[in-house]
Amino acid sequence: MTAGCRLEAVRGPAFVVVSAILYAVGNIFSKTLYTRHMSQVSVFLFRAVLTYFINAGIAEVREPHSGTSVLLLRTQSYRTSLLAFARGCAGFGQVMLLNLSFDLSVSVADAFAIKEALGTLMTVLVARAFLGADERLSTRECIGVLAVLLGLLLIVQPPAFFPAHVTLVQAPMTATLPRWVGFIMLSVGAAFQCVQNLLTRVLSRTGSEHAVSGATLLSFYMVAMGVLSISVALFVRPSRASGVPRHWAKLTVPNSAVDSALLAGVVLAGTAGQLAVAAGARTTSASKVALLAINELAFAYVFSVTVLGEPTSFLSAVGTVIVFFSSALVAAGNELDCCPHSWYGALAPL
């Protein structure tokens, strides 16, 4: 492998880890907004509109005359556009269910632990089935998978494995739904995460006939988020008997300068995170992207304890350390084939 390939092999995982940090920061901002009575749908709608135009502006600065193409969602084929829009819809489903779960049922740390564990397993298994030999994990990376699962087990601490005297159940003070409902939400969100990871790889990988820029991917994502957010606000009316507060699907606006600043943080962190993960996916397999993205859990755990003041335990801290080191093990095993080659045919069923 040449020096250029070695640099790309390190750069790809680094971008994914940076995106994990940004996503964790953005979700802490979101959680704070929800405690200040701004609805989930409103946060996503503001994020979609603002990011859509900011993203196009960044694209225009980086490459003159590309901003218009990003705004108009131009791609090389109709099928590519459908795949990009489907990715955006999956992304919206993932983040909406994640945000609902940590606002209404479980803590931020637990929400990330459950979603990332299930999402990672789904992505690794499905990528191996549909994306071909390039997605297979080495022995070192399989060890990393097992270590990640061990770390997540220590963070979640299910009662079936941990006695009550060493377990600290974490739940937000505003929880209105039982933990099992949050688990169902996060399981469905993990399936959406799997779809988004696979389509990100399809639409980002060097040499793919459907490869598009990270800016175009983000533009499709924000259009899908905007359309679905408006649809939820118009047509979803949670019943009082469900235990889900009706305000989550109601359009609201920032009530203060602090709310506006938090919303700006959500937008900037989300925009930068999406561009970073798209850049990383160009040279990193879908399985490895999913594993490296688990770093978001560790950062979310640290931020939820230090910023939001949510409860923690010694075992959760140990689990966070294990996740960090196991993700580094996966990154160290990342190898890159610098030569473009045909690979999309194996994904035809999608």
For tokens 């399981």, the residue is: 187
Radius of gyration of the chain (CA): 20
pLDDT at 11: 79
Residue 323 clears pLDDT 60, i.e. is over it: yes
pLDDT at 349: 30
Full-model pTM:
0.73
Of residues 257 and 139, more confidently modeled: 257
How much is the pLDDT for 69? 92
Q: In the predicted model, is pLDDT for residue 158 greater than 60?
A: yes
Indicate the DSSP class of residue 138: P
Of 86 and 159, the structure prediction assigns the larger pLDDT to: 86
Q: Is the pLDDT of residue 175 over 80?
A: no
CA–CA dist 153, 16 (Å, integer): 23
What per-residue confidence (pLDDT) applies to 332?
A: 56
In angstroms, rounded to a whole number, what is the distance separating the alpha carbons of residues 22 and 295?
A: 11
Q: What mean pLDDT do residues 116-131 have?
A: 74
> 171 versus 33: which is more confidently predicted?
33
Average the pLDDT over 236-254 and give the result: 67
pLDDT higher than 50, residue 294: yes
Q: Reduced to 3 DSSP states, what percent helix, strand and coil does the chain have, rounded to the nearest 5?
A: 75, 0, 25
Q: How confident is the model at residue 83 (pLDDT cuts 50, 70, 90)?
A: very high
